[in-house]
Structure 1
Amino acid sequence: MAQLSATMLLFASLVLRGLETVVGNNLTNLSSTEISKFEEISINMVEQSIRKESSSVEKPKPSNIASKMDKCTTPCVVQSKLLREGKHHMCRHLQTSLLVLARSTRKMLKDILEEHQASLDYLSNQMSELTSKVLLLNAEVMRKQYDPFPQRPVQTHGYDCSDIKDTVGSVMKTPSGIYVIQPEGSDSAFEVSCDMDYRGGGWTVIQKRIDGEIDFRKKWSDYVDGFGDLSGEFWLGLGKMVSILSQKGATFMLYVDLESEDGGRAHASYDNFWLEDETRFFKLHLGRYSGTAGDAIRGNKIEDSQNSMPFSTSDIDNDGCQPACSIGGEAVPCCSTFSNKTGWWFNQCGLANLNGIHLAKRKVIISGIHWDTWVEDNALVRIKSVSMKIRRTYKPEF
């Protein structure tokens, strides 16, 4: 277009120059108005020629434009396809990455859960063990409440309470209480309750009943080992009794102290008291009797005598009832079972059982403690409390 305009301007210049040559000298004869009009006409002619030239410029054909568009569109389609493929590739890569991430996250969570479950299982096992230990400790505490030795010794050692009284008592006053002893020939020491006040002291208490707090319905092993509380009710244990009574050169007496429900008192004393060992079922041996309660151990008849009888419990029956004894017209196959499963030196049951059931209900004593030779006004005395004590009758030279 710029080239066209320059051509037209050159053409106009040539026309003006030609006119100037043609009219030459006549221009001088024209007035200024006429000259201006002539120039205007000339310019109009030039402009018309330019417009015609412009309109005569050939416009591009539609086919050429489409061809050029085709030249532009083809790479755009390829580029769009490449972009779509790139986008699809990115989506697939992102999907794969998300899947891998999901799997790794799932595995990590699974590992964490398994680790936590393992920790919970471990803690559960620890809790179970602790619970078991607590239960065992509770059982131990409950057992200690009835243990024959719940208190520590408060005085010195000796062979027995008589020995402590004779040795320590010669230097200082020896109060009643719990002492530790180790009988001569014994491999172990143990605690005992010593009565240092009654009739000169030196008594080793081997059994005590007060208010029925301790249940005497026990098996053979309990009667062998002992049970109860040395500061209250207890049974010292047949094994410990044997170790005290079998000391070389020593003899012992047995003292049975009885108290009735109305506060009355009576006693039975036996010299030369001793027991055989467990292989002979702790067979009982007693010497001469003296006292105010009667000799219930020997009884009124030969068949009542418990002297020289082995000890019996509900699970170790040595009572001589074979197949059964007759008590008040009733057939009794086992004296221990008949006596509420308590232990004693039964002989066809007999007249004595200081370990019988003893309960206090609503301030009423239900007593199964028997010493059936203690009679007042032709009636058996109801026994409230009892203790069995032993003391040396001969002190050897040490």
Structure 2
Amino acid sequence: MSGPWIPIGCGWLILLLSLNVHAVQSLGETEPRIEIGRGVSVQAPDCTQVKKLNPGATSGMYMIKPAGVKKPFKVYCEMRPDGGWTVFQRRTGGAVSFKRNWNEYKVGFGDLQRDHWLGLQKLWAITRVRGSCWVLRVELCDFEGGSAFAEYKDFKLGGERQAYRLTVGEYNGTAGDAIRGIDPVHGAFPGIDQNGYGFSTLDRDNDGCSPCIFGDIATNDCSREEGEGGWWYSRCGLASLHGDWHPARDNKGWASGLHWLTWRGPATYSARATGMMRKAGRRLIPDDPCTPRECRISACR
């Protein structure tokens, strides 16, 4: 992975270069514009467009304004050879708690240049443009120097009335398809596919448990069982990156944690660092869906 992870995290070096692309405003103008040359500027709806308009743009903070949004907002753009990725989740330690209520997950929290959650409303605004194919990328680092990734094409969210329902398409990667609950060894686990489920928090339960029975344990609330973090739970599922962060040598066997259970097992394993990002693929045309491009993950540090 590349980008500004803090030293104990993995990947993502902090680039201390000046940003080549920045928002400017003229008199009476409220929309951000990205300068691509002397006297030439355009609106930037996301990090993918920033990279297209300025191929030399470096990773860092940018002001964007997706279509239909009244006010621009800041995001962290991860600029890679395959395009500009909008980072919407990063975890490298326990400094930022992910035990948050619905409104906090809706508006976002944390430091955009470090550990953070961008916010469901902003993420929905970025991905709701029709006719585009959005790629979701999840990056994971363990405590043993390893890393893995999962990519999904056709990534999108529903609006708040749909509880920001998650939709993903075809999977590609090395971490396994935890969102659908497809284990690379044991195959699909019935009833735990998170695709198509709304987002749940401690104060707003949209999971598929009423109750769920795990051995001799019954639960009605996946968020409470998974470290009180918000996620797109089903029954409850194999993916959950918003539980408690556990340090080295104390990160196995926890019900809470940063879980991607198709990746490390059989014991429950909590990751050292995670990142979630999205970028635009090609325009969708009949019989020509966009395909995620594999991007090499740099060594975890």
Report how far residue 364 of structure 1 moved.
5.3
1:192-203 maps to which residues of 2 (within 5 A)? 192-197=75-80, 199-203=81-85
Residue 194 of structure 1 contacts residue 205 of structure 1 at CA under 8 Å; is this kept in 2? Answer: yes
Cα-to-partner distance string for 1:348-389 (whole Å, 9 max, x where unaligned): 1111101111144xx65547011000136x555541101011
2:220 is the counterpart of 1:333: yes
Distance 1:221 1:379 in 2: 33
Structure-2 change in CA distance of 1:365 and 1:208 (3 Å): farther
Distance 1:267 1:214 in 2: 23
Residue 354 of structure 1 contacts residue 386 of structure 1 at CA under 8 Å; is this kept in 2? Answer: yes
TM-score w.r.t. the length of structure 1 is 0.57
Distance 1:200 1:225 in 2: 29
Aligned to 1:312: 200
Q: Which one-letter code corresponds to 1:206 in the other structure?
A: F
Aligned to 1:162: 48
Distance 1:365 1:204 in 2: 31
Report how far residue 212 of structure 1 moved.
1.7
Distance 2:246 2:171 in 1: 30
User: Higher strand share goes to which structure?
Assistant: 2
Q: Which one-letter code corresponds to 2:242 in the other structure?
A: N
2:227 is the counterpart of 1:344: no
Cα-to-partner distance string for 1:58-107 (whole Å, 9 max, x where unaligned): xxxxxxxxxxxxxxxxxxxxxxxxxxxxxxxxxxxxxxxxxxxxxxxxxx
Question: Which of these two proteins has the greater Rg computed from alpha carbons?
Answer: 1
Q: Which has the higher contact order (CA 8 A, sep 6+)?
A: 2
Distance 1:232 1:259 in 2: 16
Name stretches of at least 5 consecutive residues in structure 2 with no aligned partner.
1-17, 23-33, 35-43, 182-187, 285-301
Report how far residue 263 of structure 1 moved.
1.4
State the number of aligned residues.
Answer: 236
Cα-to-partner distance string for 1:191-219 (whole Å, 9 max, x where unaligned): 0011003x524000011110121000000
Distance 2:204 2:269 in 1: 30
Match of 2:145 among 263, 267, 271: 263
Cα-to-partner distance string for 1:34-69 (whole Å, 9 max, x where unaligned): xxxxxxxxxxxxxxxxxxxxxxxxxxxxxxxxxxxx
Distance 1:255 1:200 in 2: 13
Aligned to 1:14: none
Aligned to 2:282: 394
State the SS of the aligned residue for 2:276.
strand
State the SS of the aligned residue for 1:204.
strand
Backbone CA RMSD of aligned residues: 1.9
Structure-2 change in CA distance of 1:263 and 1:201 (3 Å): farther
Match of 2:94 among 208, 212, 217: 212
- Please identify runs of 4+ aligned residues in structure 1 that moved more than 3 A: 363-367, 378-382
TM-score w.r.t. the length of structure 2 is 0.74
Distance 1:230 1:393 in 2: 24
Structure-2 change in CA distance of 1:291 and 1:336 (3 Å): same
Q: Which one-letter code corresponds to 1:369 in the other structure?
A: L
1:148-159 maps to which residues of 2 (within 5 A)? 154=19, 155-156=21-22, 157=34, 158-159=44-45
2:258 is the counterpart of 1:369: yes
Aligned to 1:358: 245
Residue 210 of structure 1 contacts residue 233 of structure 1 at CA under 8 Å; is this kept in 2? Answer: yes
Cα-to-partner distance string for 1:283-331 (whole Å, 9 max, x where unaligned): 0000000111110000022301000001000100011211x21124211
Aligned to 2:133: 251
1:50-65 maps to which residues of 2 (within 5 A)? none
State the SS of the aligned residue for 2:123.
helix
Report how far residue 231 of structure 1 moved.
0.9
